[in-house]
Structure 1
Amino acid sequence: MDNPLYMPLVTVAVPSYNQGRYLNAALESIFAQDIPVEVYVADGGSTDGTIEVIRRWEERLAGWRSSKDMGQSSAINEAIASGRAPFVCWLNSDDWLLPGALKSLVAALQHNPAAPMAYGRVWNYVESTKRTNPVFVRPFSEWWMAQLCIVSQPGTLIRRTAWEAVGGVDETLHMTMDYDLWWRLYKALGPLEFVDTFLATNREHPETKTSTRRKAHYQEAIDVVRRHYGRVPLKWWLAQPYSVWYRSMMRH
């Protein structure tokens, strides 16, 4: 990856910790994209088979490390800062991209130079039930953004200039750093560009933070809405607690 003639179009950060059983599929989906990418794996010191997977892909990676870090948000910022491509994103090690995803997102941003970021539709795969359903994603509007996170992180791409302008993800957040980032990009640089096609798959399994820490996730999301929207819509107080319970029941 030190070839000066190689000009990556997208920097992809892959934060990981003890998810070796999923990491290969994530990396395979990135390198199957039909555009030049530079990929950095930031692993938090995994003790499972993660290092073996990384070694398998080492020659194609722009860089990697495996050591204790300050958490997912810090790892994402570190990996993206290591790159030089004009567009950036991160893919959690348990998710995967669909063919042509990054090319579609790059095209959307090239078509709309004012947009700081583009996003598309995403599938949600529930590992325990083997069911796949679409994530609730909508064309961008501030009102909808305040009701719930209408942007699904695996299907996103951000201009590096926009990423750097807002300082990347907030490292004090551990559950909703993505939701907060969408708000900050919009507030600082304008509406996000929507791509009406499926681009990625989010894997839902028992070890995800949204599965193990739903109440904490809910509270952090409310704090984000209050900070950026100025108030918390009634929907959060009425519907979301039920949703937390319902999604918990659906896992069993």
Structure 2
Amino acid sequence: MLEPLVTIAVPSFNQSQFLDDALASIFLQEIPVEVFVLDGGSSDASVDVIRQWEHKLAGWRSAPDEGQGAAINEGIAQGVAPYVCWLNSDDRFLPGGLKKLLTELEKHPEAPAVYGRSWNLVEKSGNYYPVWVEPFNERRLALRCIISQPATLVRRSAWEFVDGVDASLHMVMDYDLWWRLFKNLGPLYFLDEFVAINREHAGTKTNTQRRTHYQEAINVIRKYHGSVPLKWWLAQPYAVWFKSIVAKF
């Protein structure tokens, strides 16, 4: 059996309708992986789905936990592979996507992580559109998160250097991680290829907790960039209040 090259944490809570797709997309990748599913004690059929994949998993548990960030750190810490990532249970990899990321990161030993492009799947309509992703630039990163989390792969050495994700954050632990990797280890490398799918649905935290999302993001920018671009103050009312009103109709 080949030694795993990538440790993948899959945090999940009451998302049995998506979890099977996420796990299937992982095990269709063309590289050896070790996968840990961290379920927060779901009351739906999640455990049934996990048991169907148990023979392929490196480990799993289903119990109340300290939240998504803590679950991600827990899963990554259990692994030994030289590269790490997490895949939320409502997202999935495109065929061959993880191998593309791995190949690119191995070509660029100076980079702490690599990220590619991803599609956003709107569950309600079934439509796809590209997530906004750009080549790495600090000024642009301060204007918006230009990195798509499910399309990202990190060196374990870099992950451990910055102590993984900040488990105290509930909405922008990925955005915070990109900043810490950059500030401590240098720019992340951009791969201009589609490698993953981000699923947008009614239960997505960015849809249900917009105010918290903006508050956390603004705090992260202020912490690492020093000043918060005006764009964030202008966009917040639209995203928090106007979109929530439109969604009701």
* TM-score, normalized by the shorter chain, greater than 0.5: yes
Match in the other structure for 1:171: 167
CA distance in 2 between partners of 1:170 and 1:143 (Å): 22
- Which of 198, 203, 212 is the equivalent residue of 1:216? 212
Match in the other structure for 2:52: 56
CA contact (8 A) 2:135 2:190 kept: yes
The aligned amino acid for 1:165 is F
CA distance in 2 between partners of 1:117 and 1:70 (Å): 26
The aligned amino acid for 1:56 is Q
CA distance in 2 between partners of 1:73 and 1:16 (Å): 11
Deviations 1:2-34 (A, max 9, x none): xxx430000000000000110000000000000
Match in the other structure for 2:235: 239
Match in the other structure for 1:114: 110
CA distance in 2 between partners of 1:129 and 1:251 (Å): 16
TM-score normalised by the chain length of structure 2: 0.97
SS in 2 for 1:106: helix
Match in the other structure for 2:138: 142
CA distance in 1 between partners of 2:74 and 2:241 (Å): 35
CA distance in 2 between partners of 1:234 and 1:30 (Å): 39
Match in the other structure for 2:152: 156
Structure 1 range deviating more: 42-51 or 124-133? 124-133
Q: Given the superposition, is the C-alpha separation of residues 222 and 47 from structure 1 closer, same or farther in structure 2, using an over 3 Å criterion?
A: same
CA contact (8 A) 2:210 2:239 kept: no
CA contact (8 A) 1:128 1:251 kept: no
CA contact (8 A) 1:96 1:154 kept: yes
Runs of 4+ displaced beyond 6 Å: none
SS in 2 for 1:99: coil
Structure 1 range deviating more: 71-80 or 128-137? 128-137
Unaligned runs of 5+ in 1: none
Structure 1 range deviating more: 137-146 or 101-110? 101-110
Match in the other structure for 1:104: 100
Percent of pairs identical after alignment? 61
SS in 1 for 2:109: coil
SS in 1 for 2:84: strand
The aligned amino acid for 1:223 is N
Structure 1 range deviating more: 125-134 or 139-148? 125-134
Match in the other structure for 1:193: 189
CA contact (8 A) 2:119 2:197 kept: yes
Match in the other structure for 2:226: 230
Match in the other structure for 2:203: 207
Count of aligned pairs between the two proteins: 248
CA contact (8 A) 2:118 2:148 kept: yes
Deviation at 1:243? 3.9
The aligned amino acid for 1:176 is V
Deviation at 1:129? 1.9
Unaligned runs of 5+ in 2: none
Deviation at 1:126? 1.0
Deviation at 1:245? 4.8
Q: Does 1:94 align with 2:90?
A: yes
Deviation at 1:246? 5.9
Please report the RMSD computed on the Cα atoms of aligned residues, expressed in angstroms: 1.3
Deviation at 1:69? 0.5
The aligned amino acid for 1:27 is L
Structure 1 range deviating more: 150-159 or 120-129? 120-129
CA distance in 1 between partners of 2:180 and 2:197 (Å): 24
Structure 1 range deviating more: 232-241 or 32-41? 232-241
Q: Does 1:7 align with 2:3?
A: yes
CA distance in 1 between partners of 2:229 and 2:189 (Å): 24
The aligned amino acid for 1:86 is P
Q: Given the superposition, is the C-alpha separation of residues 251 and 130 from structure 1 closer, same or farther in structure 2, using an over 3 Å criterion?
A: farther
